[in-house]
Amino acid sequence: MRTPICESLGIEYPIFAFSHCRDVVAAVSKAGGMGILGALVYTPDELERELTWIDNNVDGKPYGVDVVIPAAYVGKDQGGLDEIDLEQYIPEEHKQFLEQLLEKHNIPPLPEDLPRHAGLLSWSDNMGRALVDIAMNHPIKLIANALGPPPADVIERAHGLGIQVAALVGRADQAAKQKTAGVDIIVAAGYEAGGHTGEVSTMVLVPEVVDAVAPKPVLAAGGIGSGRQMAAAMALGAQGVWMGSVWLATTEADSEPTVTERLLAATSNDTVRSRSITGKPARMLRSGWTEAWDDPETPNPLPMPLQFLATSEAEQRIRRAALGGSPDAAELTVTVTGQIVGSMNQVRPARQVFSNIIDEYLDTVERMAQQME
Ligand SMILES: Cc1cc2nc3c(=O)[nH]c(=O)nc-3n(C[C@H](O)[C@H](O)[C@H](O)COP(=O)(O)O)c2cc1C
């Protein structure tokens, strides 16, 4: 099952695991694939700590880092605004809506002395670059960017250090732009995917992107959780698969117990694309939260990054109340995942998920070869 991308990255199987959890990253890299740490949720100091841990626990196997430097966001033209500058753009009606929603569900305020989560995640040029600087001081083999081509100097620096650059796309025209920008690997993420996602299904997107960027390697993402789906992706011309959701239901994942329960219970029909967390469409479980934002009476979600800034404290309050056992809060909790959630019915070690995918992939390819006899 080795494809050219395996040779160029020094991995055994072309299976890429996106995760915010360092244990998943290390487990998949050690199993012969490539773990990719989602850096967005970390401050630079935290990222330094996570990557040092991975370096000490990955047995020298290749791994990567994913950042999000979007091509378009509020404040970009001013060089990326900070939280305090942006606060003024959050309308009163959004603040009132959130307060009423939390009150209706009896979600208590945060204690005065509890540290607030960072209001802004690192989806801007300046904040994303701070994470890139940290990542490039570690022996990473791949750096990925979502929501637009990585800045030219980031690509140049990566190449100078022998690091390959990947970018996530949801449309063939975006893929062509990434090729022109000098990106090495295109991740074609279809509609089914967890997190930010476009409107074209994986089945349609992957061959379009493969043709648009040939001979550049393409990884298929979105709705892949089994060896049969991996075989389909490879048949579409992908050189490998990039998976996010499946790793949420692994023993290594740091999901909260109530979140794991919801993931295991959900069907493939239970996700929606919603702008309610980041301002850009992202796939997550349908919940009291997504339904409240879908209500025609509710103000429209704000553009990136204002929506996250506006909602981050509310999210923290909801999570805290859910952890404290409030069923109302659990129902409001945001759970980012793709349609493959319907097949995630048990929690298993990441290595087992990985080897099951390979076994089923090999069985599938053999079954299809027999059909030719
Ligand atoms: C919980 C979760 C968080 C995600 N966060 C990011 C992110 O920060 N950056 C990114 O490039 N992709 C992110 N993604 C998308 C993944 O990189 C990947 O494209 C997607 O999970 C593939 O589809 P799948 O969920 O069907 O496997 C996230 C996905 C999930 C499930």
Cβ of 38 closer than 6 Å to ligand 1, yes or no, is yes
The count of other CB atoms within 10 Å of the CB of residue 355 is 15
pLDDT tens digits, the chain, 373 residues: what are they? Answer: 789 999 999 999 999 999 999 999 999 999 999 999 999 989 999 999 999 999 999 999 999 999 988 777 777 777 666 666 788 889 999 999 999 999 999 999 999 888 776 656 676 777 888 999 999 999 999 999 988 888 899 999 999 999 999 999 999 999 999 999 999 999 999 999 999 999 999 999 999 999 999 999 999 999 999 999 999 999 999 999 999 999 999 999 988 888 999 999 999 999 999 999 999 999 999 999 999 999 999 999 999 889 998 999 999 999 999 999 999 999 999 999 999 999 999 999 999 999 999 999 999 999 999 998 8
Cβ of 337 closer than 6 Å to ligand 1, yes or no, is yes
Span 60-86, pLDDT tens digits: 999 999 998 877 777 777 766 666 678
Cβ of 148 closer than 6 Å to ligand 1, yes or no, is no
The pTM for the full model equals 0.95
Q: What 8-state DSSP symbol labels residue 335?
A: -
Q: Residue 153 burial (CB < 10 Å; 0-12/13-18/19+)?
A: exposed
- 245, 21 Cβ separation under 8 angstroms: no
Distance 190 CA to ligand 1 centre (A): 11
Fold of 4-82+120-249: TIM Barrel (3.20.20)
Looking at residue 62, its amino acid is P
- 35, 23 Cβ separation under 8 angstroms: no
Helix axes 44-57, 22-31, angle to 10 degrees: 30
Span 321-373, pLDDT tens digits: 999 999 999 999 999 999 999 999 999 999 999 999 999 999 999 999 999 88
Cβ of 357 closer than 6 Å to ligand 1, yes or no, is no
Distance 37 CA to ligand 1 centre (A): 11
Q: Which DSSP string do the residues of 153-197 spell out, in sequence order?
A: HHHHHHHHTT-EEEEEESSHHHHHHHHHHT-SEEEEE-TT-SEE-
d(CA 55, CA 138): 8
Please, which residues have CB within 8 angstroms of residue 56's CB and are 6 or more apart in sequence? Answer: none
d(CA 154, CA 163): 10
- Which numbered atom of ligand 1 lies nearest the CA of 221? 22
The vertex-265 CA angle with 262 and 269, nearest 5°, equals: 100
User: For the sheet containing 282-285, what is the strand order?
Assistant: 195-196, 282-285, 271-274
Identify the residue whose C-alpha is closest to ligand 1 atom 20: 244
Looking at residue 277, its amino acid is I
Q: Which DSSP string do the residues of 238-270 spell out, in sequence order?
A: -SEEEE-GGGGGBTT----HHHHHHHHH--TTS
Cβ of 19 closer than 6 Å to ligand 1, yes or no, is no
The vertex-157 CA angle with 142 and 37, nearest 5°, equals: 30
Q: Nearest 5°: phi and psi at 271?
A: -110, 160
Distance 269 CA to ligand 1 centre (A): 18
Q: Which DSSP string do the residues of 35-55 spell out, in sequence order?
A: EEEE-TTS-HHHHHHHHHHHH
List the chain domain ranges. Answer: 4-82+120-249
